[in-house]
Amino acid sequence: MVKKLHRKHPHTPTRCALMIAAPSQDWNIFQQIFVEHWDGFKRVHPRYNKPYYDGLVDKMLRCGTPEKMGYIEYRCPQCGEGKHLVAMSCKSSLCLRCAKVYVDNWVSQVSRMLHEGVIYRHIVLTVPEILRQTFYQQSKDVLSPFMRCGVRCLDDVFSRVSGKALKGGYIVVIQTHGRNGQYNPHLHCIATSGGWDQKAKQWVHLDYLPYPMLRKKWQWHLLTMLRQTGKTKEIKRLVDACYTRYREGFVTNVQKGDVPSRYQSLARYLAKYVVSPPISLRRIDHYDGQGVTYHYRSQKTERVERETVAVYTFIGRMVQHVFPKGFQRVRYYGVQATKTFAKMKHMIHEALAMVKSIVKGAIKIIAPMTYRQRYQQSTGRDPLRCPHCHSDMGVWRIWHPTYGVIHDELEAIRRGKYASQAPRAAPAGSPGRTVWPTARGIPLSLSGLQ
Ligand SMILES: [Zn+2]
Ligand SMILES: [Zn+2]
């Protein structure tokens, strides 16, 4: 399968998710913490003593070593001197080094799902403190229903406010950590500013959401979901306690104003909140073998807070946010699901054209960044430009630990890859492409390569 992928897209390193090079001191510290304490941690927390977690740790520890992870080697087709080796990304959800790749991909995925001319709101639905422990213990059973009940709640609120049965469109992302890495599950909902009235076959726009109602509705939907998922005495006691203790409902935040008109890119803005790792590499200040000191910006005090925790607590704060295997963190509901939207697009646009506050085309669709662009952004240097003759370098060799050599340019040349082909004009190089295709039909200078 990988082979096919490369034959089709030999020049798109993003397809195999290459990572940024430049390992930092912090990265070494992060790895060291896991090397020294992962086994001990598992003994104290047997919940994590599973091949799934071992695999994530293992991948993360190998990340950045080309000879273990696989690599793409670039060489200069002009002078044969320039070389550049890129390790493939490990894609472990524990890996902070690959987090940036993950964010970029996330942003472009979500951007593609946003529709021009539609007004979205960013609504955060939270879980009160006394329920978080239960959520953590039953995350496997609770997380999916949790996402669904957020959608039910918003449909319910839209319908109640408008007096019609409405179905909105939603992009829902689940996040389980607060700023300091503690377990704090909540939903980020990108919701349309209204919904589809199936009966009247029309789009109904809602100017505002009544917050008190949203809070109460959210409380009811969340607690009903919990009661149905875990039918134990303990759950019943917690649910009752929640109704007594939180008479105003649960905390929900609605971004003031329409998000797209304030931000050129809703997705980029969301990524900051939503897909940031629990504790980023840059925030680790100190590790002495027993304790880890890191800092974060507190939402409450708006100041940078420092925290020193025992090393097992630190590891716990990282792994407790790993989702069950195959879990989809971003989901699309209602009219936001592509097919449904295509059907109603016209009518939604017509209805929204009447709304004054629309900023047409406010959401910019962002193309995914390529490895080359990411590298250039983080180092200021073009990794695929030959340092000797300044021409663009091309893919020379692709190696994968499981599949072995996927591409070998020298082999291809020896087999006469270019021999019978008439020279062709090189395609115009877009910034994200390497020049491998360009080398086709162009006499290659092979000195120093054989
Ligand atoms: Zn990685
Ligand atoms: Zn060169």
What tens digit of pLDDT does each residue of 336-357 get? 776 777 777 777 777 776 665 5
The span from the CA of 213 to the CA of 33, in Å, is 46
Instruction: Using the mean position of ligand 2's atoms as its centre, give its distance from the Cα of residue 81 in Å.
Output: 5
Q: Which of 335, 103, 365, 363 is nearest to 259 (CA)?
A: 363
Instruction: Using the mean position of ligand 1's atoms as its centre, give its distance from the Cα of residue 290 in Å.
Output: 24
Instruction: Using the mean position of ligand 1's atoms as its centre, give its distance from the Cα of residue 18 in Å.
Output: 9
Q: What is the mean pLDDT of residues 3-29?
A: 49
Instruction: Using the mean position of ligand 1's atoms as its centre, give its distance from the Cα of residue 323 in Å.
Output: 17
Beta bridge partners of residue 154, listed in sequence order: none
Contacting residues for 321 by C-beta, under 8 A, at least 6 apart:
176, 177, 181, 183, 278
Residue 429 has pLDDT above 50, yes or no: no
Residues 131-143 pLDDT 10s: 998 888 888 889 9
Q: Which of 154, 171, 261 is nearest to 210 (CA)?
A: 154
Residue 104 has pLDDT above 80, yes or no: no
Please tell me the predicted confidence (pLDDT) of residue 45.
Answer: 94
- 198 class by beta-carbon count within 10 Å (0-12 exposed, 13-18 middle, 19+ buried): exposed
The span from the CA of 433 to the CA of 107, in Å, is 20
Query: CB-side exposure of 51: number of CA atoms within 13 Å?
Result: 0
Instruction: Using the mean position of ligand 2's atoms as its centre, give its distance from the Cα of residue 334 in Å.
Output: 53
Residue 111 has pLDDT above 80, yes or no: no
3-state SS class at 254: strand
Is residue 384 a contact partner of residue 84, using CB atoms and an 8 Å limit? yes
Q: Where residue 293 falls among pLDDT bands split at 50, 70, 90?
A: very high
Residue 291 has pLDDT above 70, yes or no: yes
Which ligand minimizes its atom distance to the CA of 87? 1
Q: What is the mean pLDDT of residues 92-103?
A: 76
Instruction: Using the mean position of ligand 2's atoms as its centre, give its distance from the Cα of residue 385 in Å.
Output: 8
Residue 443 has pLDDT above 50, yes or no: no
Instruction: Using the mean position of ligand 2's atoms as its centre, give its distance from the Cα of residue 444 in Å.
Output: 11
Instruction: Using the mean position of ligand 2's atoms as its centre, give its distance from the Cα of residue 394 in Å.
Output: 10
Residue 448 has pLDDT above 50, yes or no: no
Residues 18-44 pLDDT 10s: 554 445 677 788 889 999 999 999 999
Instruction: Using the mean position of ligand 2's atoms as its centre, give its distance from the Cα of residue 88 in Å.
Output: 24
Please tell me the predicted confidence (pLDDT) of residue 181.
Answer: 76
17 φψ region: left (φ > 0), alpha (ψ -120 to 50), beta (else)? left
Is residue 38 a contact partner of residue 44, using CB atoms and an 8 Å limit? no
Instruction: Using the mean position of ligand 1's atoms as its centre, give its distance from the Cα of residue 17 in Å.
Output: 10
Instruction: Using the mean position of ligand 2's atoms as its centre, give its distance from the Cα of residue 166 in Å.
Output: 61
3-state SS class at 105: helix
Residues 359-397 pLDDT 10s: 444 455 567 778 888 888 878 889 899 999 999 998 888
Tokens encoding 296: 């974060």
Instruction: Using the mean position of ligand 1's atoms as its centre, give its distance from the Cα of residue 125 in Å.
Output: 30
Instruction: Using the mean position of ligand 1's atoms as its centre, give its distance from the Cα of residue 369 in Å.
Output: 17
Instruction: Using the mean position of ligand 2's atoms as its centre, give its distance from the Cα of residue 430 in Å.
Output: 19
Distances in Å between the Cα of 29 and the Cα atoms of 155, 196, 278, 281 are 46, 51, 16, 9
